Amino acid sequence: MPSAAHAQVVALLRSLPRPVASAENVQAIRTALDAIPTRAPRGVASHQTRAPDRPAEWLVHEDSDPDVRLLYLHGGGFVAGSLHTHRALAGRIARAGRAAVLLVDYRLAPEHRYPAALEDALAALRHVRDHGPLGPGRARRLFVAGDSAGGGLALATAVALRDAGERWLDGVVTLSAWTDLSASGASIRAAAARDPMLDPELLPVAARLYLGGVSPSTPLASPLFADLVDLPPLLMQVGEHEILHDDTIRLMAKARRAGVDVETDIALDMFHVYQLFSMPESREAIGRIGAWLRRRAA
């Protein structure tokens, strides 16, 4: 049964206005996301940097191993999200996984369309491989993670690395990943009334702003359509009651058929990127991410 805090968060989300995604309303969406709490959690230090030429921020817990590193790619439909919106979530993952987490401010649409975000993610991941929070030095273990659009971007980054013959990534973590920009998942309509976080009407508009004239089935934009053979291990979290539920379930099934080691964590009664909020279900989910990262880093 969902917690009392879960009910409060759902009520709050349902009370908020939902701006319609359009080129004119992008700033309104960015402003709405900026209202999310952003303080780094207790015991997590943060300092700003560049990765390599994009604004970024290291989040390091006092127990973090500086040579176990994770690049975090924020959500926001490729049109919003920032260091500000995801600092708290990335910091909680750093604490749970005892890893050094780099949160990067990749370029956003519509000012910068596909493949700008992917180019920034790839450059940042290579940078994190070779530069830690203490300075230059090769990572001992390296992961990439992200939520929503950032989750799809994390998967696309792993696919692009594999296509380039670079096999040094140790794992990918996704939270409510947006893997299909063509919006063909049945849950987009089936769960619309149950997901207080994400409006189905936002998806095609955000996809168009990001893609320009590129097909939404382009594999490095929509990793559901990619060849998933030889990807590193995946941990995929998704809410039972979110509209992008099928984006995770279908990619998980395809990855397993391709022989990828996939662990899927389906949270009962949860909505899109519920891990952003302070409630018991979020703490439990981040604890499971941390345990997975620590196992993979051992």
Q: What is the CA radius of gyration of the chain?
A: 17
Which of 242, 245, 281, 282 is catalytic? The answer is: 242
DSSP characters over 113-164: -TTHHHHHHHHHHHHHHHEETTEE---SEEEEEEETHHHHHHHHHHHHHHHT
Tell me whether residue 6 is one of the annotated catalytic residues.
no
Contact call for residues 112 and 139 (beta carbons, < 8 A): no
Cα-Cα end-to-end distance for the chain: 34
**Active-site residue, from 148, 176, 187, 222:** 148
- Angstrom distance (rounded) from CA 181 to CA 174: 16
* 148: annotated active-site residue: yes
Q: Give me 283's structure tokens.
A: 């703490």
Exactly one of 64, 272, 281, 282 is catalytic; name it: 272
What is the distance between the alpha carbons of residues 253 and 227, in angstroms, rounded to a whole number? 13
Assess whether 242 carries a catalytic annotation.
yes
Active site residues: 148, 242, 272
